[in-house]
Amino acid sequence: MPDPNKLDLLIRAGRLFCSVSGMDGPGAVGVKGGQIVAAGAEVKIAAYKTFEFPDDLLLPGLVDLHAHPARGGSKFGVDPDIEFLPRGVTTVMSQGDAGANNWASYHENVIRASKTRVVMAINLSASGESNEGGCFDVLSDVDVDACVRAIEENGADIWGIAMNTAPVCCGDNDPNEIFLRGLTAAERTNRPLLVSPRQIERLRAGDVVTYCFHPMEDGLVKDGRIRDEVWAARERGVLFDVGHGMQSFSFEIAKAAIAEGFYPDTISTDQYLRHVGSVPQHDLPRTLSKLLAAGMPEAEVFPRVTARPAEVLGLENEIGSLKPGTCADLTVLHWNPDALPLVDVRGTERPGGCWEPILTIRNGEVVGPAS
């Protein structure tokens, strides 16, 4: 008969970090029934299974605020249980992989069928990312009423609205018209937007600008300084996310922003199909390591892949911390000083090591280590 006093799992590590409870030092986390039941330096409860990581870092399960988890139906999508979960990401938000027309299929095949916790920023385009061209090539797909209906009918699973108004997405259509339709849908549903930086002056408190360290002409940094309108947006509550991807992270831009004290609110990968099999593998531990290399302190980086995105998603009582009673989503990272260099989208390298995933626990179940 099972011993009711025993934990399911006990994970000891040389360093526990939790910005919510203020932990930063050696300790252990106890897990029972899919929940964290104890965490700290003095946890010594007997467990059916114990892991020892004396030289490694234990964090709440990583949260990737902008990526492309999908199983079919999206030209960018990758299986979250294969490409994210083994690499330390227990929660990931889709940046518009589905729209109103294919949301039901996405909900069934991805959100309900994945071990990974998947959240949706629904595409303003009713077709999502299912078409070969840009998602806003066909203006009739930019259907405000359809987007609003999908959100109202499935509110708990749809965080907000994804809308990238870059020319490659809009084709011959007016980006301003598309933005205004997205803003209308967001206001009708009381949802935030996940957008590129182009219409930053029109964004509201709680909206999220992704690609924030993109080396574009109309990006956040001009002449080596954060633009005044960017500071004004932050002052009124607009949030800023990294969204690394294939084109959107520059060490030069990140370093300039960080030097001014302008830290991103969240660090995300924009990980998608083209990253599969990349060498080195693009993932959230490597992306957070790039922010460290650009000058952000660890105490600022780690919350931006755990507690802060959990808060942005409205899940702070469930994930993002090591507090007892929260979901037992945990990630163990190992510092590899000999890792392949960190490289930005322009080919600029930063040596100096990288955090790498060695164990993932999702809802109390061991689902890693990464292969």
Q: With a cut of 50, say whether residue 371 has pLDDT above it.
A: no
> In 3-state terms, what secondary structure has residue 176?
helix
Query: In sequence order, which residues have a C-beta less than 8 Å from that of residue 160 and are 6 or more positions away?
Result: 121, 122, 186, 191, 192, 193, 194, 208
The pTM for the full model equals 0.96
> In 3-state terms, what secondary structure has residue 198?
helix
Q: With a cut of 50, say whether residue 117 has pLDDT above it.
A: yes
Structure tokens at 58: 């234990």
Expressed in angstroms, the distance from the first to the final Cα of the chain is 35
List of domains in the chain: 7-60+324-333+353-366 (2.30.40.10), 62-312 (3.20.20.140)
**Least confident span in 47-61, 127-141, 330-344:** 127-141
Q: What is the pLDDT of residue 1?
A: 62
Structure tokens at 268: 């995300």
| 140 or 3, greater pLDDT | 140
> Percent of the chain, pLDDT > 90?
84
Amino acid identity for residue 349 in this structure: E
Q: Average pLDDT, whole number, for the chain?
A: 94
Q: What angle in degrees, to the nearest 10, is found between the helix axes of 284-293 and 251-259?
A: 60
Angle at 95 between CA 89 and CA 96, to 5 degrees: 140
> In 3-state terms, what secondary structure has residue 90?
strand
Do the beta carbons of residue 39 and residue 16 sit within 8 Å?
A: yes
Q: Phi and psi dihedrals of 365, rounded to 5?
A: -110, 130
The Cβ of residue 22 has, within 10 Å, a number of other Cβ atoms equal to: 7
CA-based max dimension of the chain: 68
Query: Cα 38 vs. chain centroid, distance in angstroms?
Result: 26
Q: What is the pLDDT of residue 352?
A: 78
Q: What is the pLDDT of residue 3?
A: 78
Q: With a cut of 60, say whether residue 254 has pLDDT above it.
A: yes
3-state secondary structure 259-313: HCCCCCCECCCCCCHHHCCCCCCCCHHHHHHHHHHCCCCHHHHHHHHCHHHHHHC
For 149-166, the pLDDT digits (tens) are 999 998 788 999 999 888
Query: Which residue is associated with the tokens 């300039």?
Result: 256
Beta pairing, strands 342-343 & 7-18: unpaired
The Cβ of residue 5 has, within 10 Å, a number of other Cβ atoms equal to: 8
The torsion angle over the Cα atoms of residues 269, 29, 335 and 268, rounded to 10 degrees, is 10
Structure tokens at 202: 């029109």
Q: With a cut of 70, say whether residue 203 has pLDDT above it.
A: yes
d(CA 128, CA 136): 9
Q: With a cut of 60, say whether residue 370 has pLDDT above it.
A: no
Angle at 320 between CA 319 and CA 321, to 5 degrees: 100
